[in-house]
Structure 1
């Protein structure tokens, strides 16, 4: 039995590009012996008090911990357990206001309070495969007016690759707001091509993940 962990950070349930692309990846990876764990941060955000509780809880005697500290420590252990129990990962996160998703940032902050993932320790999930899906409403390439305004994707990769030591493949989809933004009307054909390419790449990566997990399970 193999296990796939999926994290969604979009605040949209319907019409979310990251969810759609992740759905296609999961469908392509699916097989009877694959279990899937979903952490939907967009619809069920972590409590705002969880991080502080998990940071200060270990320095407080167990019988004196506040409810927030107990909750924070419990949640930190739970999300760490979810990663440790999984063989591969999908992170579907958007670019919001040129920066990182607050829900994903809260998740990372909380995860790193768990002793097993604490800064300075060797990542216990190093080398496992992951796919990062990022949707962006505009264009941020070298020729775009807002080139350099994407302050999220690099941070996502830094945390997943350099901190958690995962083997990450990036799937990006730009111009996702073209269909609902009059000023971007001329970009709609390119937006459609971008989406189709991201969807196709997700399906390809789903198949490759499935094959890799099959080989690992048989080893």
Structure 2
């Protein structure tokens, strides 16, 4: 039996306001609340909410045959809670279907896995707690920032309780091998690796709705 495994990723950073020399010692609030609210609200209503509604409809119409995974950073969830709570409500409805899996990641979409193992574990633990608080799920699969992976961090990921990790199906690493299989981490064979199919991902992301594309419609 073959399946296409869809995962969708959302991240929004907290943006910093312009901080002038004369603000030093006088102003200790560094965030641009106006930009944060404007951007997350606009993007949510233009993209996140319609996408979540579509996923929910596909799950319902397929009677649960359609399933997917979502990876949402902690900073994005915080902003949605504050400015677009209706999107959080939609995500909760998706979670309640039992057909949507929430992935683990670093809370702030950081590169801590490359520099500070202790900080890395704390950020992932913090993110897991947020997912459980909002959606009642304990993530079982890990997705690092920008799909960063190396064998050195595989034991850390497994020791934190994850069964699998999503990473890039990099051609220069795979060589002749296909990204369309489940692999095992060399440094930790019990950790399963799910590799991104770059070509299919790009077809979906950039060409799916383009009627002038020679392969349109994508099947």
Q: TM-score, normalised by structure 1?
A: 0.37
> Per residue, is there more helix in 1 or in 2?
1
Bigger RCO of structures 1 and 2 (CA < 8 A, at least 6 apart):
1
What TM-score results when the alignment is normalised by the length of structure 2? 0.37
